[in-house]
Amino acid sequence: MISKGKLAQIHIAKAQLGLGDDEYRAILARTAGVSSAKELTNRNVGNVLAEFRRLGWQPKPAKKAGRKTPRPPATRQVVMGKVEALLADAGRPWGYADGMARHMFRVERVDWLDDAQLQKLMQALIIDNKRHGGEG
């Protein structure tokens, strides 16, 4: 039996391709030798998905891994906004700033820096931005 995610992918592809039940079951029979998606195995689910792609289905790309934007207290929102802008300008995720916080202050996340530490991190990002041709 295949995972719920793969089963959902198959049903999404069916809907997006506008396949009727007869057409859908014919594809399952032709590509995997089954009459229902629930009968698919990990070995033959790839054949069905490949056939859907051949017919024009384009799966959506997976979401990028990353963490949510920090929600700082009001006293740090201006500086955190500048940090976010510098990261965006450099095309870097929040994980990069977290790594800087670990390296510079031995603090796991940017969210947990005090005001002085956050100010220093922002200054380091500005310097980094200038080195790499940013506007910072």
Domain that holds residue 96: 74-131
Q: Is 36 within a domain?
A: yes
Contacts of 120 (CB under 8 A, 6+ apart): 104
Nearest-angstrom CA–CA distance, 96 and 88? 11
Nearest-angstrom CA–CA distance, 79 and 107? 17
Given this model, what pLDDT does residue 5 score?
85
Given this model, what pLDDT does residue 116 score?
95
Given this model, what pLDDT does residue 53 score?
93
Nearest in space to 80 (alpha carbons), one of 105, 131, 107, 117: 117
Mean pLDDT (whole number) for 33-62:
89
pLDDT band at 62; cut points 50, 70, 90: low
Query: Are 79 and 32 in a shared domain?
Result: no
Q: Report which DSSP code applies to 106.
A: S
Which of the two residues, 67 and 49, has the higher pLDDT score? Answer: 49
Q: Is 60 within a domain?
A: no
Query: Are 48 and 79 in a shared domain?
Result: no
Q: Say if residue 61's pLDDT is above 80.
A: no
Q: What is the pTM of this model?
A: 0.52
What is the total count of domains within the chain?
2
